Amino acid sequence: MPMTITEKILAEHAGITGVSPGENIWVDTDILMTHDVCGPPTIGIFKQQFGEKASVFDPEKVVIIPDHYIFTNDKHANRNIDILRDFVKEHNLPNYYDVGTERYKGVCHIALAEEGWTRPGNVLFGTDSHTCTAGAFGQFATGIGNTDAAFILGTGKLWVKVPETMQFIIDGEIPPYVMAKDIILQIIGDIGVDGASYRTMEFAGSGVEAMSMEERMTLCNMVIEAGGKNGIIAADATTEEYVKARTDAPYKIFRNDADAKFHTTNYYKAEDLLPMVAQPHSPDNKASVRDVQSEKVTRAYIGSCTGGKFSDFVAAAEILKDQQVAVETFIVPATTEIDKLLRTTQINGHSLMQIFENAGAQIGKPSCAACLGGPADTFGRTHKDEICISTTNRNFPGRMGSKSSQVYLASPYTVAASALTGKITDPQEFLN
Amino acid sequence: MQNKILGRVYVLGEDIDTDQIIPAAHLVYSLEDPDERKKYGEYALSGVPAALAGLPNGNMPFIEKGKSHSEFSIIIAAKNFGCGSSREHAPAALEIAGVKAVITPSYARIFYRNAVDGGFLIPAESEKSLVDYFKTGDQAELDFINKNVTNTRTGESFSVKELGQVSQIIEAGGIFEYARISGMLQENTHA
């Protein structure tokens, strides 16, 4: 039976030779990831269902990365970190990245990759919708709820409906002012916020093959914004180089069979792609920057699993160096590793951090921060009628905190350029 | 599972995401502690912009201020209900507020799964959007035997789809109950 990459991974983890879209199968979990928001209720359900003394299915396969509400005085949020800590101690779990220690990482999806937990051919479940980010490594990765996570914690298994695969082929050379964020905003705008519901979004073509792992992660990160179950990109030499530098764990590379069946195949010519935004209040409300330039913004935000990776800040720094921001600008590195790199990497004798500080930006600590609003004292959170242009992933009403604020989603280039002018600005004005 | 659900209807538009169902700032509360848990009812659907809260007129709060239980037990919404995050707090908040069923032409995948696997509420799928056929405050009767929903004010009935492959999990009351019935988990795993 000819199969796609996703179908092959699921079949192997179900212990069967072939699967077809629509089939419900039970699969084995390679890694289960949870964080401070969904970990505590997952632990609660696990104890209630399996008993106070039950053991987890495999302590080595459970990865806990607190990242959402870390730098807050909210007593309930802080209590939730204690619940994680107690559970980790009780079960002697080795893969816990505790707050306030050297091990603390920050945003789970980027931390997973940096720490070598993203491996081709694996099945990764996480209690966060952006778990799909890891599909960039040629693995099946998807977001689940607390009950499903508790079920896995006790059994190592979960039922999955095999998704159909939609292919997105990006061929040609991507223009230097276009980032993966622009491409995924274009695609979501084309198919809609439910355009890939229950399906896999697979990205391929010479444009994708030329991308760094971080850019591939941006593509897969936002498939959930089109309703996708998972994103996937075939692993190649770029993937192997990244993975081998971070783990000795085995992995397996799957490829589509020549006659594998796809739901649809959509072609994009890389040369035609443009800087894009998603206008308020939906990730599919697309416009090219050219068509909405000069729309006013009052805030710029660069951070999150979508747009807070090292290369996102390198892009922003190219534009912000030797300039002054015109609106309040927030910089939040996704992880502590990225934070360190921003302090040690220099452009013309200044670290990226110095470039941001000299431009007048405010720097936050590694975490999810204002991407999803959060407690009132969250860094960069909106509180009134701000108009924010952001490298994050969602702009539904109230996403960044205040229901009366508005959010434009854009690439780090476009956000940085807009921060300098106070209006939506094409990065080409500042690049070269 | 009941064969029929009778209740007052709360009408919403399309793409109601999980941040509108339960804004992220409130996800700090415990879902187990009996008092803290009520907060999820209190803040259920508090992220919906006022003008779109309770269609067609809007400005109709889902929950009265200070309460944690809503007078509305059936939600009728346009497409892609529950899009956005994977937070299971979303279907849980609706259940805590007293919602028994949602009726929409389509769900976001994770919300649907969470509603089913956690046994929080019945995610019914209508053949078409029913937003134009119900007003917030109408009474609806959702009938799983005849596979339809009736607006008792107008007398009009509309078909709803079979629950399909997941009906066994819904009928069992969630994934744990289903796994015990089907022998995948031993009965005595229950604490």
Q: Domains in chain B, ordered, with CATH?
A: 4-161 (3.20.19.10)
Q: Which residues of B touch A127 (CB under 8 A)?
A: 86
For residue B31, list chain A residues with Cβ-Cβ distance below 8 A.
Answer: 41, 44, 146
* Structural fold of domain A5-267: Aconitase; domain 3 (3.30.499)
| Alpha-carbon span A300 to A390, nearest angstrom | 6
Each domain of chain A, given as residue ranges in start order, spans 5-267, 277-429
* Pairwise CA distance, residues B190 & A49, whole Å: 5
Q: Where are the beta strands (DSSP E) in A43-156?
A: 62-64, 123-126, 140-143
Mean predicted confidence (pLDDT) in A217-244: 98
Contact A38 B17 (CB under 8 A): no
Cα of A131 to nearest chain B Cα, Å: 10
What ipTM is given for this predicted complex?
0.97
Written as six digits, the tokens of A211 are 């991308």
Profile chain B (191 residues) by mean pLDDT over runs of 10 residues. Answer: 94 98 98 97 98 98 96 98 98 98 98 98 97 98 97 98 90 96 77 44
Task: Report residue B57: phi and psi, to 5°.
Answer: -85, -30
Q: In this predicted structure, what is the pLDDT of residue B187? A: 63
Q: How far is A326 from chain B (nearest CA, A)?
A: 29
A298, pLDDT greater than 60:
yes
Per-residue pLDDT, A60: 98
Nearest-by-Cβ selection for A198 from B17, B31, B109: B109
Measuring CA to CA, which residue among A355, A347, A298, A305 is closest to residue A180?
A: A305
Name the residue among A120, A127, A123, A141 with its Cα closest to residue A26.
A123
Half-sphere exposure of A256 (CA within 13 A, CB side): 16
CATH superfamily to which A277-429 belongs: Aconitase, domain 3 (3.30.499.10)
A213-221 and A237-244 helices cross at what angle (nearest 10)?
A: 100
At A30, the pLDDT band (50, 70, 90 cuts) reads: very high
Cβ of residue B32 closer than 8 Å to a chain A Cβ: yes
pLDDT at B164: 83
In the predicted model, what is the mean pLDDT of residues A352-366? 98
Rounded to whole angstroms, the Cα distance separating A266 from A167 reads 6
Which A residues, 4 through 63, put their C-beta within 8 Å of a C-beta on chain B? 24, 26, 37-38, 40-41, 44, 47-52, 54
For the residues A193-205, what does the mean pLDDT come to? 98
Beta strand B148-151 pairing with B139-143:
antiparallel
Contacts with B, A 377-416, CB within 8 Å: 394, 396-399, 401, 403
Stretch A285-304: mean pLDDT: 98
Q: Which residues pair with A390 in a beta bridge?
A: A301, A409
Residue A283 pLDDT: 98
Q: In a 10 Å sphere around its CB, with 0-12 CB exposed, 13-18 middle and 19+ buried, how is residue A17 labelled?
A: exposed
Asked whether the domain spanning A277-429 has the same topology as the one spanning A5-267, the reply is yes
Task: Work out the end-to-end distance of chain B between its first and last CA atoms, rounded to an integer number of angstroms.
Answer: 23
Q: Which residues of A touch B189 (CB under 8 A)?
A: 49-51, 54, 154
Cβ atoms of B70 and B100 within 8 Å: the answer is no
Per residue in A392-421, pLDDT (tens digit) is 999 999 999 999 999 999 999 999 999 999
Residues of A in contact with B30 (CB under 8 A): 40-41, 44, 76
Contact A243, A118 (CB under 8 A): yes
According to the model, what pLDDT value does residue A432 have? 73
Instruction: Report whether A127 contacts A149 (CB < 8 A).
Output: yes
